[in-house]
Amino acid sequence: MENYDNSLWKQASGKNFGAVLITGATSGIGRALAWKFASLGANVILNGRDKAKLDEISGNLTREFGNEVMTLPFDVRDRKAATAAVESIEGKWKNIDVLINNAGLVLGVDKEYEVNPDEWDTMIDTNIKGLLTLTRLVVPEMIKRGHGHIFNIGSIAGDATYPGGSVYCATKAAVKALSDGLRIDLVDTPLRVTNIKPGMVETHFSITRYHGDKDKADAVYAGLKPLTAEDIAETVSFIASAPAHVQIAEVLLMPTNQATGTISYRGK
């Protein structure tokens, strides 16, 4: 792996290097990303709605790895709060070299014409508008510094719609379009943009979808070995460590026994 020794945290050895900002960092993929990047020596900025959980994770990371950790408790749907939080960042923390737009969720399995409008608002405001807000707040400074990598956590759901998921699938299709569009907009800069599209990942995701019904959530993964949040974190960190001239634009990763968003093998 010698070709990958110029990762952000190794390039910056002995210098003030940039931080990694992760949205939705209190659980699941976001939490795994925080642990992975902290283990590599990066200073991490953790965002989430639950301040107590952020503080707990921050303390654990500092004890485990000795890293400095900043927490930014706000809801990505709240543009004013997000703006105030990002603008409050000072000193070396302002040099954000990796932005991971991870905050996202799915609610319910209703048909499109039966979806609760409050639920589609939550999905659209989190999965699309939240991503746009953080991109708008962070990327201009990356351009000024001439360095940065933006990861958008999309989904296999953005490739093809499945029953009971039309609004969620639409938001993840938007994540792909926004990732591709940002990559075009940044083509004359050294910045890189990557859309990560996981298949089945066993986190709190399905429990949220089924409004806390763990039995229904567990049934989603029955009969096969799903991906873990740590699998996604490993993938992101590998891509972030690629040589500066390498841009991995999009990654679709699934469990071995999943073929598409709707076709999988669950044993006999």
Catalytic residues: 168
Q: In sequence order, what are the residues at sequence separation of 6 or more whose Cβ sits closer than 8 angstroms to the Cβ of residue 181? A: none
User: Are the CB atoms for 98 and 160 separated by under 8 Å?
Assistant: no
Burial class for 52, CB neighbours closer than 10 Å (0-12, 13-18, 19+): exposed
Give me the phi and psi of 137, to 5 degrees please: -80, -30
Give me the torsion for CA of 242, 64, 253, 71, rounded to 10°: -90
10 Å Cβ neighbour count for 89? 19
CB neighbours (10 Å) of residue 92? 12
Task: Give Cα 208 distance to the centre of its chain.
Answer: 17
The two structure tokens encoding residue 88: 């409050």
What is the spatial distance between Cα 206 and Cα 220, in angstroms, rounded to a whole number? 8
CA dihedral 1, 251, 39, 23 (to 10 degrees): 160
Alpha-carbon gap, residue 262 to 203, rounded angstroms = 19
How far is residue 185's CA from residue 108's CA, in Å, rounded to a whole number? Answer: 34
Residue 40 contacts residue 66 (beta carbons within 8 Å): no
Looking at residue 141, its amino acid is E
